[in-house]
Amino acid sequence: MNVVPITTPPAPRGFLNGFSIEVMPRTAAKIPDFKAILPAGTRVYIAHIAGTPIEDMLETAKRLVADGFEVMPHFPARIIADNAMLENWVQRYAELGVSSALLLAGGVNAPEGDFSDSMQLLESGVFDHFGFSRLHVAGHPEGNRDIGTESEVMAALKWKSDFQNRTGAAMAIATQFVFEAPPVIEWSARMQAAGVHLPVHIGVAGPAKLQTLIRFSMACGVGPSLRVLTRRARDITKLIRPFTPETLLTDLAAHKAAHPDWAIESVHFFPLGGIRATTDYISAQSDTAARLRA
């Protein structure tokens, strides 16, 4: 996929510093050399989709650790049978040099074992026992009908924020992808009002065909910001070009510049149109910002 030239002001220099990216074992296997496309030390999340063998997850983690990246595998609570399985997975990752994890409920409707949410995983003490120093949790700026009401979700985030305070764990919220800034700004304000003080790594979809993004958005429960895509879909001249997120990035960066203490700490990319398309886009975005501000 060719990267579409930036037609709106690029994100201010530095806004994409420290970005992270998400891969799956099957998509990672298509990349011959991650060191050629990602900055050294980039945080790489490995999505654990239901049905993915743990051996595939571990093999991907082993490769990325060897390449010098910070590996953050998913731990979907609802597909973990019991504490013994959790301990086995965490220990095997730790033996590879992994010390970071994303804890989430997972994409299945009902628990397949003893765990149903990330709070239970945190309470287990297993991650601390095996030396995991960074634990992220999932966030949904536009809500998600599968995870409860607004008040229930805020109460859960407050519990996680308090967990960080009482344990000293390094935590952050990694969010579902969105397509416009206002829902993110409003959500972060509601979190602050609810006493949630966790840094946020905002989810952004990398370049992809419009049809691909709409399909993933519907499957993942993306909320009102989906209108950005549906408006674009009405313009037939835009259907043939990949959708790129520079307008979202520019708006987020502008809000961060105006409010330096804003909870958004970094950007987390979902490479829905392919890993290489996303890394090429990030590189082009950063290079353009540097040239315009040199």
What CATH number is attached to the domain comprising 109?
3.20.20.220
Q: Please, are residues 241 and 3 in contact by the beta-carbon 8 Å criterion?
A: no
Q: Output the pLDDT for position 238.
A: 55
Model confidence, pTM: 0.89
Would you state the pLDDT for residue 43? 98
Residue 15, domain member (yes or no): no
**In total, how many domains does the chain have?**
1
Length of the chain: 294
Which pLDDT score, from 0 to 100, does residue 293 have?
46
pLDDT for 285:
85
Taking the chain (294 residues) in consecutive chunks of 10 residues, what is each chunk's mean pLDDT?
Answer: 43 80 98 97 97 97 98 98 98 98 91 96 98 96 80 95 95 94 95 97 92 75 66 55 87 94 96 95 73 44
Query: pLDDT at position 40, please?
Result: 96
Domain contains 231: yes
Element holding 289 (H helix, E strand): helix 275-293
Q: Give the range of the structural domain holding residue 97, as residue numbers without chain letter.
A: 20-288
Whether residue 76 is contained in a domain is answered as yes
Q: How far is CA 276 from the centre of its chain?
A: 17
Would you say residue 4 lies in a domain?
Answer: no
The verdict on residue 10 lying in a domain is no
In a domain, 8, yes or no: no
Q: Enumerate long-range contacts of 183-192, CB under 8 Å, 24 or more apart.
A: 183/141, 183/142, 183/223, 183/224, 183/225, 184/141, 184/252, 184/264, 185/255, 187/141, 187/142, 188/141, 188/262, 188/263, 188/264, 190/150, 190/154, 191/154, 191/157, 191/263, 192/263
- The per-residue pLDDT for 20 is 98
Closest Cα partner for 38 from 284, 292, 289, 276? Answer: 276
Q: Is residue 230 part of a domain?
A: yes
